[in-house]
Amino acid sequence: MIVEVALNLPIRKSFDYHWPDKLTIVPEKGLQVLVPFGAQKKGGVIVRVKKHSGITRLKNVETLVDEEPLFSEELLKLTKWTSEYYFCAWGETLNAAIPGGLALRLRTTYTPLTTSLPGLDTLSQKPQILIDTQSTWTQQEWLQCNPDERDHQQLRNWLSKDHVQSTQVLLGQKTKPKMERWIRLLKPDNPKNSVSRRKTKRQQIFEILNENREICWSDVQNRVNAPSQALKKLKEEGHIEFFEKRVYRRFMEGGLPEIEPFKELTPEQKSVFEKLSDSLQNGTYRTYLLEGITGSGKTEVYLHAVREAQKLGKSCLILVPEISLTPQLVNRFRSRFGDHVAILHSGMDDGERFDEWSRVRHGFASIVIGARSAVFSPMKNLGLIVIDEEHDPSYKQGETPRYHGRDVAIFRGYEAGATVLLGSATPSLESSNNVSNGKYELLSLTSRINQALLPEVRLLDMKTVPGQKGSPYFSSELVEALRLRLLKKEQSIVFLNRRGFAPLVRCSKCESTFTCPNCSLSLVYHQVANQVQCHQCDFVKPLVQRCPECGSDHAPIIIGTGTEQVEENLKMFFPAARILRMDRDTLHGKHALSKMHDRIRRHEVDIVIGTQLVTKGHDFPEVTLVGVILSDLSLNIPDFRASERTFQLLTQVAGRAGRGYKPGKVLIQTHNPRHHSLLCAKEHDTRQFRELELERRQNLRMPPFHSLTLVVCSSPHEKRAENLIWEIAEKIQKLSSNKNYSNTAQFTSEIKPIDSVQVIGPIEAPMKKLRNRFRWQLLLKADNVRPILRLLKQVLETPPSTRRDELIQIDVDPHHLM
């Protein structure tokens, strides 16, 4: 038998291996195996079993990692589609699809087969002592002796002549099932009338086992002092047996939340739900876009739809942006569906995630709530997929595989015949366009629950409104509004999408800015830590007075503002207020975000200042004011999605105000009061924004009307990056003008053939240098993605040869053109 194995390597093909007789089980798709690759051993997944291979001298599969397939047929198909659409290796997608990845740890050990090794005395001192004193040694121990080239040569020599044998031991997956020792009662004791009043250990154990026939070893230990000997004896007598039982590590603290009844739906919610219910009953694929203003009760609709799917015996997948995955949301599901809910997100450790994933795989949990990668969860019989905040940019993965969670979910729904529900107050233009062209069906919720009104929004033109003494970043109107809320004991949110104290530090003498040595970016000043940091790589250093350029000792100038500085301003304006800063720098530990949410809910905080973290995923009824500082930040990014992002961010953050019984107010400080993103956000006019922006995109020939793919070449050497991209560009140009790229597409397409792929660039990337690599890029544009993929496939069949530390990255449907 031959098996085809997908490896977690950036090579877009799988490799054939021979299935050795020593592996007694029949090879099967989806099994995880360990195979030799070059001089190394790699973990991979069997993606095909076949009789013949085009290659003659095949290597053997080394070992089987697990006897149960890790991936079902459905997931193999989904990951294959993902890797083809996003132009990456299948193994890379498989690796991203399981918690902890395919990483396996191996230990190599060496054992001499003869008593005296020839040439032992020619080794350097330390390796010689190692071999002299140990009967076997590990590779790690060998390397710790700092062997030189001659030592390595000698070892290789011994290995080739079978004087020394090397063995590799699989240390298992990074994440393993956690097992517990349990005790089972087989034969009860004949109780003898004991004379002593003190119970023997034996009696105590029987007492416990009479209550529960099966009990965990550690529970017995808690109740009986040092029970081991007594237990052993009972086992020998055949009264009890020991067994291993798998326990599932759980992320959620405490038990299940109290059961909460389903809310009766409002007429508007009801008509949305009925559509979904019909679709679920129907059992065929359909995608719905639920456009519902903030606070209109979308989540309640999701809950009802999940209940309906469960009634039909179907499992459900709920995707949410990472930061909305808070206990409040999770508890809303757990209080309705209990332990049928599994949670998957990156804040959990590998063991917890692996166990939740296993609960899904074994059918113990049929409702999965998770961030992006949960789209690959192993549930069977999928009936409903919900993608909450479908417009959220965090659904797009920033590293290989660069997939979009929403789009992969839709493919999965299509294959499974599931109902897919995209929800948002500010749908993406892609999804809106798919409503226009009939691919999705639109559902809407137009009013807030409890007749709450959308907040009044005012744009404050910072060029004309009176400023506040003490900070150029505050208008006096915002400060007064905050003061009023403090007096009325209501809560406020101040939003600024930039952490740190100030984004620029400049020498007061030579005027050079402090930049990151690894990236072409200015360093951001963080006052609390008194250091400058790069927000792209991990570079940090203490802020020093001396200028790195001219050596002047004049104090550097700090320019601009960030959340730290706004917090400082607020403390100055309102010394008695309780202020909470919520950004990545103040989030420490696993449950930090939810602890902050609890504090806000309990009204232990008057003003929250924060980045994007404050904009979504929670419901604070006491918040009546939202202030936005520097609302134009996201507009100034050189990206065609800048307007869309700005509109979405402002609408989302404005939606935090006035969700309870008290009306809300939003003050947006800006330098662009006439920009359509701001004007539409002010009017809560999603439709107007969509129309304006779609027209603009059509004129620019940009998504959603055209498809983009970004190719980035990076290298530590500037010239190399440039040469690499040019090599690709020239090949593309040639092929695409010849129009002779092959049509053996793996994408069965009913779409009309496309004439050309437009090549834009090569240009130096806007982010010229990142993590010590220079970057050049080119952009491919076509009517849809298929011709681009066909072209890339041909061009990269024989990719330009890259050195170590050089990369060719392909980003299909990129979210940043930086």
Binding residues (CB under 6 A) for ligand ADP: these are: 263-266, 269, 292, 294-300, 449, 619
Q: Counting contacts by CB under 5 A, is residue 523 touching Zn ion? A: no
* Residue 600 per-residue DSSP state: H
Asked whether the CA dihedral 744, 750, 756, 761 is positive or negative, the reply is: negative
Binding-site partner at residue 292 among Zn ion, ligand ADP, none, CB < 5 to 8 Å by type: ligand ADP
Closest to ligand ADP by CB, 40 vs 446, is 446
For residue 484, what are the CA distances in angstroms to 21, 490, 621? Answer: 79, 9, 17
Q: How far is the CB of 660 from ligand ADP (least distance, A)?
A: 9
Closest to Zn ion by CB, 224 vs 524, is 524
Q: Measured over all CA atoms, what is the biggest interatomic distance in the chain, rounded to whole angstroms? A: 101
Q: Which residues of 326-347 are buried (b: 16+ CB within 10 A; e: fewer)?
A: bbbbbbbbbbbbeebbbbbbeb
Q: Counting contacts by CB under 5 A, is residue 524 touching Zn ion? A: no
Helix, strand, coil fractions of the chain, as percent rounded to 5: 35, 25, 40
Binding-site partner at residue 617 among Zn ion, ligand ADP, none, CB < 5 to 8 Å by type: none
Q: Counting contacts by CB under 5 A, is residue 532 touching Zn ion? A: no
Among 108, 203, 447, 518, binds Zn ion (CB under 5 A): 518
Closest to ligand ADP by CB, 467 vs 660, is 660
Binding-site partner at residue 555 among ligand ADP, Zn ion, none, CB < 5 to 8 Å by type: none
User: Which residues is 387 bridged to in the sheet?
Assistant: 319, 422
Q: How far is the CB of 83 from ligand ADP (least distance, A)?
A: 33
Binding-site partner at residue 536 among ligand ADP, Zn ion, none, CB < 5 to 8 Å by type: Zn ion
Residue 20: cis peptide before it, omega within 30 degrees of 0: no
Interactions with Zn ion, residue window 554-583 (CB under 5 A): none
CA distance 777 to 709: 10
Q: How far is the CB of 517 from Zn ion (least distance, A)?
A: 7
Q: Counting contacts by CB under 5 A, is residue 513 touching Zn ion? A: no
3-class secondary-structure state, position 31: coil
Q: How far is the CB of 562 from ligand ADP (least distance, A)?
A: 28
Q: Give the amino acid at 361.
A: R
Closest to Zn ion by CB, 184 vs 535, is 535
Collect contacts of 94-99 with beta carbons under 8 A, ≥24 apart: 94/6, 94/8, 94/45, 95/8, 96/373, 96/376, 96/397, 96/401, 96/403, 97/71, 97/373, 97/376, 98/70, 98/357, 98/376, 99/175, 99/344, 99/350, 99/353, 99/354, 99/356, 99/357
Binding-site partner at residue 296 among ligand ADP, Zn ion, none, CB < 5 to 8 Å by type: ligand ADP
Among 31, 98, 280, 507, binds Zn ion (CB under 5 A): 507
Q: Counting contacts by CB under 5 A, is residue 505 touching Zn ion? A: no
Pair type for strands 104-112 and 164-173: antiparallel
Q: How far is the CB of 774 from Zn ion (least distance, A)?
A: 13
Binding-site partner at residue 750 among ligand ADP, Zn ion, none, CB < 5 to 8 Å by type: none
Q: Counting contacts by CB under 5 A, is residue 549 touching Zn ion? A: yes
CA distance 649 to 9: 37
Nearest to 611 by CA among 648, 585, 573: 585
Q: How far is the CB of 454 from ligand ADP (least distance, A)?
A: 12
Radius of gyration (Cα) for the chain, nearest Å? 31
Binding-site partner at residue 206 among Zn ion, ligand ADP, none, CB < 5 to 8 Å by type: none
**Of the ranges 207-215, 248-256, 449-457, 519-527, which one interacts with Zn ion (CB under 5 A)?**
519-527
Binding-site partner at residue 269 among ligand ADP, Zn ion, none, CB < 5 to 8 Å by type: ligand ADP
Q: How far is the CB of 631 from ligand ADP (least distance, A)?
A: 22
C-alpha 339: how far from its chain's center? 23
753 membership: H or E segment, kind and range? none
Q: Counting contacts by CB under 5 A, is residue 550 touching Zn ion? A: yes
CA distance 756 to 733: 10
Q: Which residues of 556-570 are buried (b: 16+ CB within 10 A; e: fewer)?
A: bebebbbbbbbbbbb
CA distance 97 to 661: 43
Q: How far is the CB of 544 from Zn ion (least distance, A)?
A: 12
Q: How far is the CB of 46 from Zn ion (least distance, A)?
A: 40
Q: How far is the CB of 768 from Zn ion (least distance, A)?
A: 12
Closest to ligand ADP by CB, 298 vs 345, is 298
Q: Counting contacts by CB under 5 A, is residue 536 touching Zn ion? A: yes
CA distance 432 to 289: 8
Q: Show the binding pattern over residues 357-396: x = contacts Zn ion (CB under 5 A), - = does not.
A: ----------------------------------------
Q: Counting contacts by CB under 5 A, is residue 452 touching Zn ion? A: no
Closest to ligand ADP by CB, 71 vs 620, is 620
Q: How far is the CB of 493 from ligand ADP (least distance, A)?
A: 15
Q: How far is the CB of 372 from ligand ADP (least distance, A)?
A: 19
Give the residues lining the site for Zn ion (CB under 5 A): 507, 509-510, 516, 518-519, 534, 536-537, 539, 547, 549-550, 552
